Structure 1
Amino acid sequence: MRNILEMQQQLLPDLMEILKKRYTILHQIMLSDVIGRRTLATSLNMTERVLRAETDLLKAQGLIEIENIGMRISDSGRTLLEKLEPVVKDIFGLANLEEKIRKAYGLQKVVVIAGDCETSPLIKRELGRAGAKALLRVMQDGDVVAVTGGSTMAEVAEQLTPSANAVLKQSWFVPARGGLGESLEIQANTIASGMAKRLGAGYSLLHVPDLLGKEAYQSLVHDPNIHDIVGMIRKARIVVHGIGDAMEMARRRKMELPMVEDLQKDGALAESFGYYFDEEGVVVHKMLTLGLRLEDIMKTDIVIGIAGGKSKAKAIHAVLKFGHEGILVTDEAAAMEIVSELENKNRQQEHNAM
């Protein structure tokens, strides 16, 4: 397939550009559910006249439906996009980014979607959809899945729809740790219950704050109900988590200034599942919290990290250096930044070795 694409690129470069353009239009319509022509033209930086010609063709092919309220993708269009996905990854260079990151960090699988989720809510929705697909590929009936909170994970839950032949009713979703105090929509409890309801699975919740004092921790850790749910969390076969910028997460948790200064001094770049990591993936701070511990994550069969945006590249790198990710789902902006940093370091090392 790749050889054919390369030959087409040489012989028919215009054809490849047309394919890219029409795929992008169709994909944007799918992500939008329903969208007007003017809005779509603006989001794609395209004139309405050019877009009208393209959408008329897509309609004639039965790939989209045009109604008074706007355009929506048809079942045929959705099927075509799914079939085109691996081809388009090669055309856009995403497959190359995936393989470079996979090899650099020894990952099982890397999924890179086009765009930058920090610049478009539609790209963030696509990141959530890719994360949901990655989870469904590895889930088996009877699994316990631990999930963290955050806006990206909330999008994963929103995009989670089981395939027709998926049977996951014996599965169980649990929050990776407590999360009271955050906005309700992005709490791990809300996300775990939302995922379970979408798949017809069960769920258990952990109603404790994300950040605990020593006395509160000691009190809660011996509570029988808390003990049971924490036991289930620590036996999860799959962990699905977001990755945060260390300083941003410190601000969200309203950490005291001396602690923030300590994190900066220790070089904290990333936060995930309540732990703060430096550039080399070393834990420089851990929160006193109930739920998953590092030793539990190290024993987990499948760990899926989902994060995107150019500004998250250093944080993603730090968590990948920790060395216990199996699957990464990210976007093009973060992936390009990560690969660029890796290549710069390799060139620097080669220069120093001369």
Structure 2
Amino acid sequence: MADIREDFDQQRQMYSVLVLHFIEGLKQSEIAERLNLSHSKVNRLIATGRKAGMVKIAISSPYQRLVDLENDLVSGFSLRHSVVTPTVSDNPETTLQMVGRVAAGHLLETLRDGDIIAITGGKAVSAVVENLEAERRFDVRVVPVTGGVQGKHYTDVNHLATQLAEKLGGSASLVHAPLFAEDAEQRDLLMNMASIREVFDLARSATVALVGIGSVEAPGSGYYDLLPDPARGGKALVDAGISGEFLAHLISADGSLADIDLNSRVVALAPGQFVNCRNTIGVAAGDYKAGPVAAALAGRYLTSLVVDEAVARHIIANIGVGDHD
């Protein structure tokens, strides 16, 4: 499966380079700068793409069905960018790692020196960090957008922020606070502590955000590992009209914040508070994430989306966009 993931990743990158060079007319040096690639790699990708027959009257892709799904997501939800990975296995972990690998590539393409990167916890974000391999160092700062839950690497947002900063060659600022306070009053006290407020102020000014999108239904969802009382999750939340989790806040199908006690206790920025963010990248894998992703899209919280084919097809079927076999 690793070979399939690597092949797809290279094909996607090759397709992007060919479009920029032959359709948009960019020079190889301009493509290298835009996608954060070396000039020699851009040259090699163009040569390989031409040899493989990808350059004709138009640029073709062996994953055209996925390109069609991506275009439907972009047009249906006013996204700037979307990547849909193929379904190559019934193993959810394989699908998750492929989404993480492709999202890592998109993150690297969008980064610029001086960026502030806001990050959440979650299995999908953890997969992005795990699969990230930068070709150069970036002068960036990584900041958590939520408090953390210790115990598992993907729920500890400080751990993920530190890892991401190390892999990029940047620095990290950490939030030393729990994800959930005991009540709204304690939450406000925590949010106003100088050390926590300073990091969240940095997060508000983030230029790039990497965020997971959680399900409240599936027991396999990482959101259950965040809850102070897991027994309050699942069917009870669904019955209350909750569609998913975004920045640790529970949201309804239209993307609005749910009127529920848990939201008043979350030590995190609320959805929509990235005032300077040029690219908010949502990452999710597994068909049970379709509802939560659709809710985040309805709230217009994302500018980019990286999901697997099953998620994309579920979302598009529900909004009636496109008709792909």
Classify the TM-score, shorter chain: 0.7 to 0.9
Are 2:249 and 2:266, in contact at CA under 8 Å, matched by a contact in 1?
A: no
Question: Whole-Å Cα distance in 1 between the matches of residues 322 and 108 of structure 2?
Answer: 35
1:236 counterpart SS class: coil
Q: How does 1:251-266 map to 2 (within 5 A)?
A: 251-252=224-225, 253-255=227-229, 263-266=237-240
Change (3 A) 1:182 1:211: farther
- Determine if the alignment matches structure 1 residue 176 to structure 2 residue 148: no
Task: State the number of aligned residues.
Answer: 273
Q: Which moved more, 1:272-281 or 1:146-155?
A: 272-281
CA spacing shift, 1:182–1:262, aligned 2, 3 Å: same
Structure 2 residue aligned with 1:340? 317
Q: Kindly provide the amino acid, as one letter, of the partner of residue 309 in structure 2.
A: E
Partner of 1:94: 66
3-state SS of paired residue (1:271) = strand
Match in the other structure for 2:172? 203
Amino acid at match of 1:184: H
Q: Which runs of 5+ in 1 are unaligned?
A: 1-23, 32-74, 347-354
Name the amino acid aligned to 2:203: I
Aligned with 2:320: secondary structure? Answer: helix
Give the partner amino acid of 2:279. I
Aligned residue runs from structure 1 range 42-191, under 5 A: 83=49, 87-90=61-64, 93-115=65-87, 119-163=91-135, 166-169=136-139, 171-191=140-160
Match of 2:280 in 1: 303
| Alpha-carbon distance between aligned partners in 1 of 2:164 and 2:275, rounded to the nearest angstrom | 24
CA distance 1:296–1:29, shift in 2 (3 Å): closer
Query: 1:225 pairs with 195, 213, 217, which one?
Result: 195
TM-score (norm 1): 0.68
Q: Which has the higher helix share?
A: 1
Aligned to 1:283, which of 246, 250, 257?
Answer: 257
Give, in whole Å, the separation in 1 of the partners of 2:70 and 2:199. 36
Given that 1:111 and 1:328 are in contact with CA atoms closer than 8 Å, whether structure 2 keeps it comes out as yes
Structure 1 match to 2:34: none
Match of 1:27 in 2: 4
- Candidates 234, 257, 260, aligned match of 2:204: 234
Give the TM-score, by structure 2 length.
Answer: 0.74
Larger radius of gyration: 1
Query: What is the aligned partner in structure 1 of residue 242 from structure 2?
Result: 268
Tell me the distance in 2 between the aligned counterparts of 1:111 and 1:103: 13
Comparing both chains, which one has the higher relative contact order based on Cα–Cα distances under 8 Å and sequence gaps of 6 or more? 2
Cα distance in structure 1, aligned partners of 2:223 and 2:111? 32
Q: 1:30 to 1:89 in 2, by over 3 A?
A: closer
Matched, 1:331 2:308: yes
Please state whether the residue corresponding to 2:62 is helix, strand or coil.
Answer: helix
SS of 1:318's equivalent? Answer: helix
Paired position in structure 2 for 1:62: none
1:309–1:331 CA contact under 8 A, matched in 2? yes
The Cα offsets for residues 20-44 of structure 1, whole Å up to 9 and x where unpaired, read as xxxx89525769xxxxxxxxxxxxx
Distance 1:117 1:202, change over 3 A: farther
Residue 63 of structure 1 is matched in structure 2 by: none
Code of the residue aligned with 1:231 in structure 2: it is: D
Q: Separation in 1 of the partners of 2:231 and 2:154? A: 27
**Kept in 2: contact 1:118–1:308 (CA 8 A):** no
1:44 paired residue number: none
Unaligned runs of 5+ in 2: 9-40, 55-59
Structure 2 Cα separation of the partners of residues 265 and 239 of structure 1: 31
Provide the aligned C-alpha RMSD in A: 3.2
Q: What SS does the aligned partner of 1:225 have?
A: helix
Aligned to 1:5: none
Distance in 2 (CA, whole Å) between partners of 1:260 and 1:113 is 28
Equivalent residues in 2 for 1:10-25 (5 A)?
A: none
User: Could you tell me whether the CA contact under 8 Å between 1:181 and 1:210 is conserved in 2?
Assistant: no
Q: 1 CA distance for matches of 2:89 and 2:295?
A: 20
